[in-house]
Amino acid sequence: MIRIDDLALFVRSAALGSFSAAAREINLLPGQVSAAIQRLERDLGIRLFARSTRSLRLTADGEQYLPYAQGALESLREGHERVHAETAAIKGVLQIAAPSDLGRNVLLPMLTDFRRAHPQLTLRLSFSDQVADVFRDPIDVALRYGNMEDSSYVAMPVDPGNRRVVVASPAYLAAHGAPASLDALTSHTCLRFMLHGRVYDKWTFQEDGKRRIVAVSGPLVSDDADIVRRWAVAGEGIAYKSRLDVAEDLHAGRLLPLLEEDVLGDAIPLNLVCPHRKQFSPAIRLLHAWLQERVGRHFPATDKPKRATGGRARKA
């Protein structure tokens, strides 16, 4: 049976190119490391290293086996952390970035409760619609909307089914009517926002299985999604928002969903993003589970919001 300690010594010896160097790291004799490698080779039935008095290098079999040994040790480490995460005290500082509207109006109470559950943890929150760089900015993890196509990031789903929804307040609909179709949006006052440094004035949808792009206009533009939501609640126009951002407003009737029977808004799944899997500390894993469960309850699929009715439906 393969011993875990032997596997770890093999990985370190391969990394350092020396049995002596691997031995010094953990206060062993070089002969003890050599014996561990020989034992592992017997268990595997292969030669892992080609040895001489002056050099140590991996054999072809050793090079082929090394990534599997590294993966096994990493899996064991992750398993140990997960088993102990629930009982170990979470300490230190956790720096979290999130979009403006989502952070202030959805995540803030969830994150506050998470901190209360782990009183030795310090949270540093950054809520902004400027996309945080998880490699350069002083953050540990970010909440982001959209599909994570960059393979340099690792994304853990929080709400994979989230979409944008077209919304307006009862006051706006009473004054201007509800758009009867996507084309009708062009004759309505729409609340536009900045996305990646440009005005997002071409809204995309799925209609009858086909992608539709609608160019919208309006006199109000902001790079802060919370401001766009507030304008919509105040009756200033029609907004195209993440359903999570407007969940409370939909439930309370401050906003009403439009066109939902005919079209699907953009899919914008919510993910917890980290630069590398090795940085998924117990605190981040616990945070992911915490948010996934609470965001799932925030807008239950069985709890349908009020629909827009009445008013003057403006034709395209």
Does residue 179 lie within any of the structural domains? yes
Nearest to 315 by CA among 113, 143, 180: 180
Same-domain pairing of 72 and 204: no
Instruction: Look at residue 115 and tell me whether its pLDDT is greater than 50.
Output: yes
Distance CA 185, CA 315 (A): 9
Same-domain pairing of 156 and 284: yes
The mean pLDDT of 243-268, rounded to a whole number, is 91
Distance CA 71, CA 207 (A): 45
The mean pLDDT of 183-202, rounded to a whole number, is 91
Same-domain pairing of 276 and 127: yes
End-to-end, the C-alpha distance of the chain in Å comes to: 73
Query: What token pair was written down for 34?
Result: 């050599």
Same-domain pairing of 193 and 150: no
Does residue 312 lie within any of the structural domains? no
For position 154, what pLDDT does the model report? 80
Instruction: Look at residue 6 and tell me whether its pLDDT is greater than 80.
Output: yes
Lowest mean pLDDT among 19-23, 85-89, 262-266: 85-89
Lowest mean pLDDT among 30-44, 54-68, 224-238, 289-303: 289-303
Of 91-100, 171-180, 297-306, where does the model show the most confidence?
A: 171-180
User: 88 or 121: which carries more pLDDT confidence?
Assistant: 121
**Residue where a domain terminates, one of 85, 113, 142:** 85
Indicate which CATH number applies to the domain containing 121: 3.40.190.10
Same-domain pairing of 257 and 278: no
Instruction: Look at residue 308 and tell me whether its pLDDT is greater than 70.
Output: no
What residue numbers bound the domain in which 109 lies?
A: 92-161+269-298
Does residue 316 lie within any of the structural domains? no
Same-domain pairing of 277 and 155: yes
Same-domain pairing of 180 and 254: yes
What strands, in cross-sheet order, belong to the sheet with 192-195?
198-200, 192-195, 221-222
Same-domain pairing of 183 and 232: yes
Would you place residue 304 in the very low, low, confident or very high pLDDT band (cuts 50, 70, 90)? very low
For position 311, what pLDDT does the model report? 44
For position 306, what pLDDT does the model report? 46
Same-domain pairing of 122 and 175: no
Would you place residue 310 in the very low, low, confident or very high pLDDT band (cuts 50, 70, 90)? very low
Same-domain pairing of 258 and 279: no
* Phi/psi-derived region of residue 252, left when phi > 0, alpha when psi is between -120 and 50, beta in every other case: alpha
Indicate which CATH number applies to the domain containing 217: 3.40.190.290
CB 205 within 8 A of CB 263: yes
User: How many structural domains comprise the chain?
Assistant: 3
Same-domain pairing of 143 and 280: yes
Ranges of beta strands (E only) in the chain are: 49-51, 56-58, 92-98, 121-127, 141-145, 154-159, 164-168, 192-195, 198-200, 202-207, 210-215, 221-222, 239-242, 256-258, 263-265, 270-274
C-alpha to C-alpha distances, 263 to 71, 215, 270, nearest whole angstrom: 45, 16, 21
Place of tokens 């994150």: 111
Same-domain pairing of 146 and 236: no
- The model's pTM: 0.65
Distance CA 192, CA 237 (A): 10
Q: For residue range 68-110, list pLDDT tens digits in order.
A: 999 898 888 777 666 665 545 678 888 999 998 999 989 999 9
Give the Cα-Cα-Cα angle 260, 265, 266 (nearest 5 degrees).
Answer: 170
The mean pLDDT of 174-187, rounded to a whole number, is 95
Indicate which CATH number applies to the domain containing 44: 1.10.10.10
